[in-house]
Structure formats: structure tokens, C-alpha cells
Amino acid sequence: MKNDYLLLTPGPLSTSATVRQAMLKDWCTWDDEYNVDIVQVIRQKLVELATHHAGYTSVLMQGSGTTSVEATIGSAMGASDKLLVIDNGAYGARIKQIADYYRIDCVVVAPGETEKPNLTEIEALLANDLAITHVAMVHCETTTGMLNPIEAIAKLAKSYGKVVILDAMSSFGGITMDIGELGIDFMISSANKCIQGVPGFAFVIAKKSALMPCQGRARSLSLDLFDQWQCMEQQHGKWRFTSPTHTVRAFYQALLELEQEGGIAARHKRYETNQKRLVDGMRALGFAPLLAEDKHSPIITSFYSPISEQFQFKTFYNALKQQGFVIYPGKVSHADCFRIGNIGEVYLDDIERLLIAIENAMYWRAPSLAGAACTAASA
């Protein structure tokens, strides 16, 4: 059950041996042992993790995180509704793309991939465009590692009476928040992120009063959020169509391990410790982070690629993989970067070992410069 390498990515990510072992049994999707004792318990635990406020429920959806984002947009938006999208990365842009596919009227605030949204600009749109009914945003934009100011944006949106949709794909379970306090109507995340499960399904935690009007709105049969929720409510955890049983059982185990760790606050602290040591160590090796420190999330960090004709990301990637680490290529449109995740079954000792591996992999430096800082681009 041991992996050949550690995944330092924003998901799929490295999981515990016990989470992987939980997938070694087959399950019947009609059996109460699965639906009542696992699915329903997962649904309740998710709501408890998300908020202390009453009036929330959860629904699990087969597929990737984007599948559940699409299910939410396609089910929550009425025919005459208009969506305001906060886009400062690939995943904000994907929300806009979903709206375009469904021909949903949409307006975008796009400050750029390395900038936080401008609240004045958002308020001007909300004040002047009375057709806007919903606001959608990403919490942790893993394009860069940006952590967006969801508290301020959600408060602003609710002050204008808008329905708020939060893509918390890469933050839920790893960053403390109470979506009831924030006024979030729909929050979307995935099994293979900070809860530290494996890919196969995602989930939506929704305010019941916002979910009920979704009946009959869905633009897709399999992505009908309301019907999936209603089936789970009426049939005690039953999914409408075949559920990813092994993934679900692994997620149940991951939830238990989150509790054993001390909950979201303890996991958040571990991720922050990982990220701070990573940035400090990378700076010592000469790598410059893409974002200013006050914009970083504890989830994933982007670093400028070294200024060297010899540097090739694929070669660097393979050199790290041979030492037991897998990182991510960059996704920023205007900068040559690579990314390193800080989440999953990853601890401070792993970050220390990674930093040694990175120094060993810095082939573009002359041997006489070993241990000295390499030249990196600056912000």
C-alpha cells in the first residue's frame, strides 16, 4: 500500500494507507450498510464541518469537482437570472465557461491572476446592474495559490440580496470557515482535496431555502442537484444513479481521520506550517514565490522558474520524481512558474526532505555553486 512518490499537488493528493485500504471491500448500493451507515453519516458530518447554523443540507454528486460546480450553476440559476463571476484564475474562468455553455446571462470581474478582487468594482456592479441575482467565486484559486477574500465579498453580495455560490474545492476541510456565518448559499468541494479522500465524487453543502427553488431548473438529467438531493433524502442516502462506492467508503475513513487529527483547525495549522517552511526553504534556494505573502493560501504555492537556458520543467520534474516527489507545472498565463502543493498526507518532515531533493535536482547550476542560491525571476 506504499506509494513510490509523494504527491505535492492540489488534488488528487497523497492519502493515508488506511484511506486506501478502505477501498478493498465491495459494496451494494441498495444496502443500508452502505446508504444509511456510510452515505448518510457522510452527509451529516459534512454539514457539521461546514457550519454551526441550522437550515443546511448536503448532496453528493458523482464525478469531478467541476461536475458539481456545473450541477450547482445549472440547477441554481433560473432562466431569467444573471450571474456575477469573480474570475482571477483558471477556476473562476471555468465558472464563466459553464455559464456560457448553458447560455446563462453573466458578467465578470477579472482583476488578473495575481490580484485580489476589487470590492469597489464589485459593489458598483451590484448597485448598477439590478438584473444580477447570483454571485459566484472561488475561495482558493489553485492557478496561483491565491486565497480570495470571501468574507468581504459574501457580505457585500448578501447586502444586495444575492444568492452566493462558493467554489471551496481546494479549501474546505483545510481552512476554517463557517458558511452559515458567511451567508453562503451553495458551497462546493471535492472528495480528493483537504478531506484527503480519493477522486470519484464531489459534494454541495446548501442552504435548504436556496436549494428548494432549484426543483425543475436543471439543464441536465445527471447534473440535477435538486433531484439528487431529493433522492438521498427520500431513500435514506440512495444515489439516483450508480455511486462510486469505493471512493465513498474511502472518504468516510478520511473524515474519521480528520476528526482524529483534531478537526479542520488542526489540519489548517499543519498546512500552514508546511507552506511557511516550503516558502522559507525555497527562498533560501533562490526561488521567488509568484504571489506576495499576504495573498498566499496554505494550499498550494507558485514559484517562478529559474532564469536559466538550461532549466526545463520536465527535467526538473523527473529529477524530483526519481527522489520520491511529484509537483505541478504552472498554470499562470503571463509567468513561467511551477507549483508545489502543501496539502494531503504531508508533514513538516516531508517538506524538509523535499527541499533537499530540490537542491539535489538543481542541475542548471555549476557544481561549484552547490548550496548557493540560484537566480530566479522576481515579481
Q: Give the chain's radius of gyration (CA, Å).
A: 21
Residue 270 annotated as lining a ligand binding site: no
Amino acid at 324: G
Neighbours of 151 (CB within 10 A): 12
C-alpha–C-alpha distance, residues 219 and 74, integer Å: 6
Q: How many residues would you count in the chain? A: 379
Alpha-carbon distance values, 247 to 87, 167, 251, 360 (Å): 31, 21, 6, 36
213 three-state secondary structure: helix
What residues contact residue 225 under an 8 Å CB cut-off, 6+ apart?
59, 61, 71, 72, 74, 75, 76, 204, 206, 211, 214, 218
C-alpha cell at 326: 511529484
Instruction: Provide the residue type at 240 as one letter.
Output: R
3-class secondary-structure state, position 311: coil
Q: What are residue 108's phi and psi, to 5 degrees?
A: -125, 135
Q: Alpha carbon of 266 to those of 76, 175, 214: distances in Å? A: 33, 9, 36
Q: Is residue 46 a contact partner of residue 203, using CB atoms and an 8 Å limit?
A: yes
CA distances from 227 to 60, 220, 234, 270 (A): 11, 11, 10, 38
Annotated binding site: 339
Q: Please report, in range form, the residues annotated as the binding site for substrate.
A: 339
